[in-house]
Amino acid sequence: MQGKRLSVVVTRRLPDVVETRLSELFNVSLRDDDTPMTREELAEAMRTADVLVPTITDNIDAALLAGSGENMRLIAQYGAGVDNIDVSTARQRGIQVSNTPGVTTDDTADMAMALMLAVTRRIPEGLRVMQDGSWTGWSPTAMLGGRIGGRRLGILGMGRIGRAVAQRAAAFGMQVHYHNRKRLRPEQEEALDATYWESLDQMVSRMDVVMVSCPHTPSTFHLMNARRLKLMKPEAVLVNVSRGEVVDENALTRMLRAGELAGAGLDVFENAHDINPRLKELPNVVLLPHMGSATLEGRIEMGEKVIINIKTFADGHRPPDLVVPSML
């Protein structure tokens, strides 16, 4: 690819500074509006371009990859997660896949703490009281929530985000526990003052807050299923800033409606933006529109990583954030 000005198709609007830099470096096709590409538009882009820059909203499956053109050699994902891309099939067709890991770790961890506080301190309920004009003044027993200091936090998935949440939670005085596919090194556990649980069932049954921060893979689909959710204490809270598919949303909704869980804070959902309508009705649930990584700084840094991956590839080298099946 050296010496050739690559043809790059971007599937969604990106921050202006990122689009400007892409245009300076490559023959780039940018999106006029911020709507997802249709499947036909994606197929056309993959037939004609050298590089595709998709996001988590674009489903790059085996069928689309089968129709890709001979010039399509890199899918530079704008985002850390790649469960929307059939990475194995892409590699079989000689198409490399890169992503943008680590950029939004702090942003997402901040949002996890915000959700914990919002649910336990009933912040959305307080906002509604103020906005609808029904507040009649302070009362000793009104809008009573609970403090998070001293509570047990169980983190499901102790990767970058899980560790960042652990650091923040410790500052709030929470007791940090975790379950992970691989146990952290002793020095990492000591630094985080985190307790490892080999059994996820045993951990969730003893926690006051369970926070999901593991990726969506075949082995984590509905990891928090109906049986495991029922192990949680009735006064416990579930927070999910990872992938909606990890939690059985219908089972969670039933338990919240029945008072079998105290509350939930969700930034991701099992069926993208098609949320269970009964979930929206619950006062003890905080729902956010996948805002965990939504900071301008983070979005620009993601774009910079995409550009570095494409530029490195164009120079004939391995993209620094190359995704390989063993990572999934």
pLDDT score of 81 more than 90: no
Tokens standing for residue 297: 């700084």
pLDDT score of 4 more than 90: no
269 and 162 co-located in one domain:
yes
215-251 pLDDT per residue, tens: 888 899 999 999 999 999 999 999 999 999 999 999 9
Identity at 280, one-letter amino acid code: K
Residue 1 lies in a domain: no
pLDDT score of 3 more than 80: no
Residue 41: give the domain boundaries.
7-103+295-327
137-182 pLDDT per residue, tens: 999 999 999 999 999 999 999 999 999 999 999 999 999 999 999 9
Across the chain, mean pLDDT equals: 95
pLDDT > 70 in the chain, percent: 98
What's the rounded Cα separation, in Å, for the pair 185 and 156? Answer: 17
CATH number at residue 142: 3.40.50.720
Helix-strand-coil split of the chain, %, nearest 5: 40, 15, 45
Alpha-carbon dihedral sign for residues 184, 186, 188, 193: positive
Q: How far is CA 274 from CA 9, 269, 271, in A?
A: 27, 8, 5
pLDDT at res. 326: 59
pLDDT score of 253 more than 80: yes
Residue 2 lies in a domain: no
Residue 80 lies in a domain: yes
pTM: 0.89
